[in-house]
Amino acid sequence: MSSTDASRSPEPWDETYDLDLEEVWQRVRQRGAKRVLLQFPDGLRDYAPGIAKLLTQRTGAEAVLSGEACYGACDTPSASALHAAGADLLVQFGHSPMPSVPVKDTMFVRAKYRMPIRPAIAKAVGELGLRGKRVGFVTTAQYAHKTDEAIAILHELGVEAKVGKGDLRIALAAQILGCNYTAAKAVEPEVDLFFYLGSGDFHPLGLALETPKDVVVADPEFGTVRLMSGLRDKVLRQRFAAIETAKRRGGKRFALLVSTKAGQFRLRLAEQLQRRIEAKGGEAVIVQIDTFTPDALQYFRHMDAWVNTACPRIATDDYAKWPVPMLTPPELEMVLGERAWEHYVFDEIAGDKKLHSPMFD
C-alpha cells in the first residue's frame, strides 16, 4: 500500500497493485464531487465494488460503476454518459492519461504492479544472451514506476539500456501503448534490440510489427521470457492474407470505420481515405460506431473490405473474428496499389497534435 494510506487495513488488491487511492479521495474532496463514475479495465474489475465502498466511506460521495468495457485512456465515457450517471467526476483505473486526447472531469489512476522485477530481467539476460547488448527499454503504465530500477539491474548484468520519450499520446518515459511506439522509435537507431518489461503479448507484438529489431519480453508476473519474432511472423502472414482477400473480393468497395471513443476518433483520416478511394474509381462509406462487433457490422458485409481507423489492434488482434477482411489504413494503401508489401507499417495513432473530438471540442 502507498505510504500515505498505511493506516488502513489491507485490501485484496494491495498485494498486487499500488492504486494511489489516497490521491483519489483527495481529488474527490477537493472538487466537492457528490457522485463519481468509476471505470475499470477487465483485470481490475473484481476490485470495483470494494473500491466503490471505500470511496463512499472516505469521501461521502456516491459511487457508480461503469459496466462498459474499458480498453485504455483512449476510451473514456463521453460528457453525456457522465451527465447521465449524474456524476461530477470520472475516475478511470489502470491507465495513464493521454496528453493529446481532450477529456473533461476525468482522473486517471495507474495500477502500479508491486511484483519484484529482478528475477524476470536476470532470466531474460541469461537465457537470451543479452550481456554486452544495447537495448531500448520499454514498458507499460503498470511497470513504468520501475524503469530506473530495471535500468540499474540491466546495467549490473552487463546490458546497456536506453530510454526514449514518446510523443503527446504518451505520459511516461519508456511507456508504449498498443497503438503508439514513439518512445521506442526515439531510441531505435541506437539499440540492437528492444527489452519489454511487462505481461502479455499485446504491447510487445505491436512493437515487433513496428520495428525491424527483435523484441525481448521479460514478464515479472509469470516469470517467463521470450522473443517476439515468431508471433510477429505469424501475424504478418495473417495481414498478408487479409490484404489479398480484399483484392480478390474486388478491392473497390470499402466501409471506413470511425470510432466514437475520444482517443480513437479519426474522422479526418477516414474522410481523406474516402477521397483517395473515390479518386481511384472505388466506393467508400464512412460508418461511425462505438464497439466493433461482427453483428454490428453485418449490414456492410457485401463490402470488399472494412477499414478500421479506430484502435489499430481491432484489425490485427481480432483477425479471426471478422467475416470480411478488416484492414488498417496502411493496408488499404496496399489494396489500392499505393504501397508495396516490403513497406508494410503498423498503424500508429500519433499524439503529435490534439485529436479532434466532437465530444469535447
- Look at the block and give the residue holding cell 481491432: 314
Q: How far is the CB of 110 from ligand SF4 (least distance, A)?
A: 14
Task: Return the number of the residue (94 or 178) whose C-beta is nearest ligand SF4.
Answer: 178
Task: Report in angstroms how near the CB of residue 261 gets to ligand SF4 at its nearest.
Answer: 7
Q: Give alpha helix (H) positions in 33-180.
A: 48-59, 79-84, 118-127, 147-156
35/33 Cα distance (integer angstroms): 6
Q: How far is the CB of 316 from ligand SF4 (least distance, A)?
A: 10
Task: Pick the closer one to ligand SF4 by CB: 256 or 349.
Answer: 349
- Using only C-alpha atoms, the chain has a radius of gyration, in whole angstroms, of 22
Q: Which CB sits closer to ligand SF4, 282 or 330? A: 330
Sites of contact with ligand SF4 (CB under 6 A): 71-72, 74-75, 177-179, 263-264, 311, 313, 349
Query: Which of residues 75 and 167 has its CB atom nearest to ligand SF4 in the complex?
Result: 75
Nearer to ligand SF4, 59 or 180 (CB): 180
Query: In 3-state terms, what secondary structure has residue 263?
Result: helix
- Closer by beta carbon to ligand SF4, 75 or else 210: 75
Going from the C-alpha of 95 to that of each of 4, 55, 190, the distances in angstroms are 21, 19, 29
Cβ neighbours, 10 Å, residue 169: 25
Query: Is the Cβ of residue 206 or residue 325 nearer to ligand SF4 in the bound state?
Result: 206
Q: Minimum Å distance from CB 74 to ligand SF4?
A: 3
Kindly provide the residue ranges of all beta strands, DSSP E only, lying in 95-252, ordered along the sequence: 106-109, 112-113, 134-139, 160-162, 193-197, 215-219, 224-227
Amino acid in the structure at residue 120: A
Distance CA 219, CA 221 (A): 6
- Distance set, CA 291 to CA 69, 89, 120, 246 (Å): 9, 23, 36, 22
Whole-number minimum distance, CB 124 to ligand SF4, in Å?
24
Closest-by-Cβ residue to ligand SF4 is: 178
Measure the CA–CA gap between 355 and 100, rounded to whole angstroms.
Answer: 6
How far apart, in whole angstroms, are the C-alpha atoms of residue 108 and residue 208?
Answer: 28
Supply the minimum distance, in Å, between the C-beta of residue 253 and ligand SF4.
26
Q: What are phi and psi of 237, to 5 degrees?
A: -65, -40
Q: How far is the CB of 68 from ligand SF4 (least distance, A)?
A: 13
